Structure 1
Amino acid sequence: MRIVITGASSGLGEALALHYATKENQLILIARREDRLNDVASRCRNKGAEVETIIADVNDFERMREIAEHLGEQPIDRIILNAGVSVGHGGGITPFEDFERLFKTNFLSVHALLEPIIPKLMEQKSGEIVFISSLASLFTMPTSIAYSSSKRALNAYAEGLHHQLCPHGITVMTIMPGFIESEMTQKNQFEMPFFMSTEEGIKRITEAIERKKIRYAFPFRFYLMIRIVLLFPQSLRDKIVHFTNFKKGA
């Protein structure tokens, strides 16, 4: 299986690369940090996988389009769009530069890479596109407006793409994890509900991919809590948000 993974030098991307590192798989790992990516690639090769590394910043959209043309020269079985950033949970108004960076990394870079690849997938009438979103996309806290907005946009994009590509034999999946141990969550200075280890998170993600779950949110208790809160009257939701922010110290 030929698998493309973005953001593969650390966190969930690194763990996903190592999970799929078998002699049956050819991995194409994309990330901007060369030393760390080379280290991940070396460990994947030691597990028997054939590995190609591509050093690139996903915010370089022209570079993404060039990479897409290169990737499209051979059939692609699975693309896992994992690259993402956060500015943490802080008070005040998010500076425009941070807002722009989050949308470029978490959302716009996705289409820059996929636009040239999608016609190739349609020609081969197969393939899987996996978006790593977040439970934060379902409910926006005042301390994570930029991050939640970028992930909600990603959900909408993935939903439309699912309907567009399903008739062509292409599976589009959106995975929405809660708090998983990673480089990103290490920034958080508050108690994260239902926090899970990287190993458990990867197990849930990869099982959902194998089952071809079109939308998968976890952990289920956290997801259910969000869904219930969204049914509350606005006044009650406001009180919950205020209390949660107070607990965070925001």
Structure 2
Amino acid sequence: MRIIITGASSGLGAALALYYATNENDLVLIARRENRLNDIAQKCREKGAEVKTIIADVNNFLLMGEIGKRLIEKPIDRIILNAGVSTGHAGGITPFEDFYRLFGTNFLSVHALLEPIIPKLMAQKSGEIVFISSLASLFTMPTSIAYSSSKRALNAYSEGLHYQLKPHGITVMTIMPGFIDSEMTQKNRFKMPFLMTTDKGIERITHAIERKRIRYAFPFRFTLMIRILTLLPQSLRDKIVNFTNFKKGA
């Protein structure tokens, strides 16, 4: 199986690369940090996988389009769009430059890469596109407006692609994890509910992919709490959000 993974030099991307590193898989790993990506690639090769690395900042949209064109020289079985950043949880207004870069990484870069790839998948009438979103996409806290907005946009994009590509035999999946111990979440300075280890998070994500779950949010109790929160009257939601924000110290 030929699997492409973005953001593969650390966090979930690196863990996913190592999970799929078997002698049955041909991996293409994309990330901007060359030394770290090379380290992950070597570990994957030691586990038997064929590995190609591509050093690129996903915010270089023209480059991502060119990479997409090169990737379609061979059949693509699965592409996991994992590259993402966060500005952390902080009060105040996010500077436009940070907001723009976050949206570029988490959302715009996705289409830049997929634009030349989607016609290839349609022509081969097979393939899987996996978006790594977040539970933060389901409810926006005042301390994560930029991040939640970018992930909610990603959800909308993937939903539309699902309907567009399903008739062509292509599976589009959106995975929405809660807090998973990673380089991104280690910056948080508050108690993260239902925090999972990386191994547990990868187990849940890969299980959902193998079962071809179109939309999968986890952990269940955290997801249920968010779903219930969205159904409450606005006045009660305001009180809960204000209390939660106070507990974060924001």
TM over 0.5: yes
The Cα shift of 1:90 comes to 0.3
Distance 2:63 2:119 in 1: 18
Distance 1:32 1:185 in 2: 19
Distance 2:111 2:57 in 1: 14
Distance 1:22 1:59 in 2: 30
Which residue in 1 is equivalent to 2:45? 45
The Cα shift of 1:102 comes to 0.7
Distance 1:106 1:152 in 2: 10
The Cα shift of 1:85 comes to 0.1
Which residue in 1 is equivalent to 2:117? 117
Distance 1:241 1:101 in 2: 27
* Counterpart residue type for residue 17 of structure 1: A
Question: Does residue 80 of structure 1 match 2:116?
Answer: no
Percent identical pairs in the alignment equals: 82
Structure 1 segment 71-110 matched on structure 2, within 5 A: 71-110=71-110
* Counterpart residue type for residue 192 of structure 1: M
Q: SS of the residue aligned with 2:3?
A: strand
* Counterpart residue type for residue 125 of structure 2: K
TM-score, structure 1 as length reference: 1.00
Moved over 3 A (4+): none
Deviations 1:12-56 (A, max 9, x none): 000000000000000000000000000000000000000000000
Q: Which runs of 5+ in 1 are unaligned?
A: none
Distance 1:120 1:180 in 2: 33
Which residue in 1 is equivalent to 2:64? 64
Which residue in 2 is equivalent to 1:33? 33
Q: SS of the residue aligned with 2:164?
A: helix
Which residue in 1 is equivalent to 2:23? 23
* Counterpart residue type for residue 50 of structure 1: E
Distance 1:210 1:174 in 2: 13
Q: SS of the residue aligned with 1:174?
A: strand
Q: How many residues get paired?
A: 250
Structure 1 segment 146-161 matched on structure 2, within 5 A: 146-161=146-161
Distance 1:147 1:241 in 2: 17
Which residue in 2 is equivalent to 1:190? 190
Distance 1:192 1:201 in 2: 14
Deviations 1:188-237 (A, max 9, x none): 00000000000000000000000000000000000000000100000000
Q: Which runs of 5+ in 2 are unaligned?
A: none
Q: SS of the residue aligned with 1:74?
A: coil
Distance 2:35 2:73 in 1: 27
TM-score, structure 2 as length reference: 1.00
Q: SS of the residue aligned with 1:73?
A: coil
Distance 1:43 1:60 in 2: 27
Which residue in 1 is equivalent to 2:219? 219
Q: SS of the residue aligned with 1:139?
A: coil
Distance 2:153 2:87 in 1: 17
Which residue in 2 is equivalent to 1:203? 203
